[in-house]
Amino acid sequence: MHKREYRKQQLLRLGFLIVSIVLICIISNQLFFRFDLTQDKRYTLSPVTKEILNGLDDIIYIQVYLDGDLPVGFRRMRNSIREMIDEFRVIASGPVHYEFIDPAGIDDNALREDLFFELHSKGLRPTNIDITERGGRRSQKLVFPGALVSYKGIEMPVNFLKNNPALPAEQNLNNSIQSIEYELISSIHTLKNPETKKVAFLEGHGELDELLVAGISDAIVRYYDIYRGRINEQDLQSLDDYHALIIAKPVKPFSEQEKYIIDQYIMKGGSVMWFIDPVAIDLDSLTYASEAIALINDLNIDDQLFRYGIRLNPNLVMDMNCLLIPVNVALADEQARFVPVPWYFSPLLAGNEAHPVTRGLNFVKAEFASVIDTVGTDTLISREVLLRTSEATRVVNAPLLVSLDMARQQPVPGDFGNRHQPVAVLLEGEFPSVFANRVISGIIGRDDPDFRERGERTRMLVVADGDIIRNDVTLSQGVPEPLPLGFDRYSEQTFGNREFVLNALNYLMDEAGLMELRTRELQLRLLDRARIRRDLSMWQAINMIVPPGIVLLSGLLYNWSRRKRFA
């Protein structure tokens, strides 16, 4: 009887366990929930990401070209990309398919080279990494840390790697992992919205031509429609169709009618990117002569920018953190001998790590940049410095004589005592009109019933250097070809100019709040290498002795308890 009751109890327990498991499976299949126990919530998608994924009505196909034999850091990036896409698949209303591909794993050399060329032409940027093979032999491998995202037959490239030479490799990889969600979801958001916004490059004041802005235009055209044209002074609404206006290094003054049309465009919520040279001088002018005069560039917009909260100073910054240029150091009767020397008028500007536009950004190269001051106390306008010089900066006022001999002179550290001079400032808010309390008919020749003294909330970027958006041009068989924006032909480095301008433009027109994802911070928890080397033997001994000891101790305690129980 005792055995029968015991067996009955065991069967009831087994049946209850089976029924409980079945009910849990049914409930969990109907209800979805996850617990992110990480401190930085690295496995929690943002609300804007979930909203975009819930609105999908077709298949998203993601081809990630980061696979194969990779170093530890890139394997961590690959795993993070896979985890992020898996999170997308759980949330998305439509199917999300993905594939990981190793382009370097193709055995056929011709097919591999063709694939490399195809990926590069589609916008994926390759990088060389060091691989340690068996036997300790080291080799280099070309990888494409990016992906191609396809939706409804339209394809868009995504580059994950953030490469800032000023940061260690671990920090660059961590910044890249932090931006995975933004890079993927921003491309999906762009593909999901077929109606692209319009961006206009202003002409008519000697602005940079199409060839000199081709580097940034190639990047912008992947997201927006690009137009170029002059302001029609007879049509007060000539700019209203554009979502953003880019003014790239004008050299001729603006008329009052043109200023009025730009002002009212801003009052209606339009965004403007000002790339202005307060002082007129180019490095090309020093190519044919050893010296040139830097003069104040009067564009007749100082009062307008001042009204918006910005003052462009007629000066130039000299920074000890700068580019190198080749200078002939040979004497008069000797053969030309060029050596690289610091050119303090070409500073390398650092970004604001706290802002989504410049977070994790490489240095931005400038040329004859000036200082920006924020003015006014308007509480409806916020101001944020995005680019600034280094701690060792000197400010010289215009007009002044600039000579290549200045590169040969040894700098005096005491002269470079101006720290962190602002060069680019982002403005957000409701801007006042520069034409408020003025007779409009005397400016445009007639009354404007739609005139606004205070604008809608919008954003604008002011940069005191027009060359930040200008790319160099080289000749290939007599045909001019633009170089990538940010590429320095002397050092053969590519700086962050392209990413800065594109990020800023995306931020100006970001209505969904996607750019805030770039402020996401994942804590980088690295092992202490010095401590590892010091305590290596101790931790090896602990790993070899403690686990078997725990198993042995558990077995002894279990046998002791059974003997005591059934003795």
Residue 331 lies in a domain: yes
Q: Within this chain, do residues 512 and 422 fall inside the same structural domain, yes or no? A: yes
Beta strand pairing call for 244-248 and 198-202 = parallel
Condensed to tens digits (0 to 9), the pLDDT of residues 315-369 reads 999 999 999 988 776 666 677 777 888 999 999 999 998 898 998 888 999 999 9
Over the Cα atoms of the chain, what is R_g?
30
The whole-number pLDDT of residue 223 equals: 84
pLDDT beyond 60 at 1: no
The whole-number pLDDT of residue 42 equals: 67
Q: Within this chain, do residues 386 and 359 fall inside the same structural domain, yes or no? A: yes
pLDDT beyond 60 at 104: yes
Burial class (CB in 10 A: 0-12, 13-18, 19+), 501: buried
Read off the tokens for 440.
Answer: 């409009």
Prediction pTM value:
0.79
Residue 115 lies in a domain: yes
pLDDT beyond 70 at 425: yes
Q: Please, what is the average pLDDT of the chain?
A: 87
Residue 99 lies in a domain: yes
Q: Please report which confidence band the pLDDT of residue 46 belongs to, taking 50, 70 and 90 as the band edges.
A: confident
pLDDT beyond 90 at 396: yes
**12-16-22 Cα angle (round to 5):** 145
The whole-number pLDDT of residue 336 equals: 74
Higher pLDDT, 44 or 543: 543
The secondary structure element, H or E, covering residue 280 is: strand 279-280
The whole-number pLDDT of residue 136 equals: 61
Last residue of a domain, one of 519, 541, 557: 519
Condensed to tens digits (0 to 9), the pLDDT of residues 276-316 reads 999 999 887 777 777 889 999 999 999 999 999 999 999 99
Q: Within this chain, do residues 286 and 431 fall inside the same structural domain, yes or no? A: yes
Q: Which of 161, 189, 165 is nearest to 177 (CA)?
A: 161
Reading phi first (left if > 0) and then psi (alpha if -120 to 50, else beta), residue 290 is in: alpha
Q: Write the DSSP string, 460-477.
A: EEEES-GGGGPPPEEEET
Q: Within this chain, do residues 372 and 403 fall inside the same structural domain, yes or no? A: yes
Q: Within this chain, do residues 185 and 285 fall inside the same structural domain, yes or no? A: no
Last residue of a domain, one of 493, 519, 545: 519
Q: Please report which confidence band the pLDDT of residue 479 belongs to, taking 50, 70 and 90 as the band edges.
A: confident
Q: Within this chain, do residues 231 and 92 fall inside the same structural domain, yes or no? A: no
Q: Within this chain, do residues 326 and 309 fall inside the same structural domain, yes or no? A: yes
Residue 564 lies in a domain: no
Read off the tokens for 375.
Answer: 């003015």
Which CATH number characterizes residue 157's domain? 3.40.30
Q: Which domain holds residue 139?
A: 47-191
- Beta-bridge partners for 525: none
The whole-number pLDDT of residue 36 equals: 67
**2-8-13 Cα angle (round to 5):** 130
SS3 250: coil
Last residue of a domain, one of 164, 191, 218: 191
Q: Within this chain, do residues 161 and 307 fall inside the same structural domain, yes or no? A: no
- Beta-bridge partners for 322: 347
Is residue 327 within 8 Å of residue 339, measured between CB atoms?
Answer: yes
Q: Within this chain, do residues 280 and 217 fall inside the same structural domain, yes or no? A: yes
Q: Within this chain, do residues 174 and 209 fall inside the same structural domain, yes or no? A: no
Q: Within this chain, do residues 243 and 341 fall inside the same structural domain, yes or no? A: yes
State yes or no: cis peptide before 253, omega within 30 of 0: no
Beta strand pairing call for 225-229 and 400-403 = unpaired
pLDDT beyond 70 at 170: yes
> How many domains does the chain fold into?
2
Q: Within this chain, do residues 434 and 465 fall inside the same structural domain, yes or no? A: yes
SS3 179: coil
Residue % of the chain over a pLDDT of 70 = 92
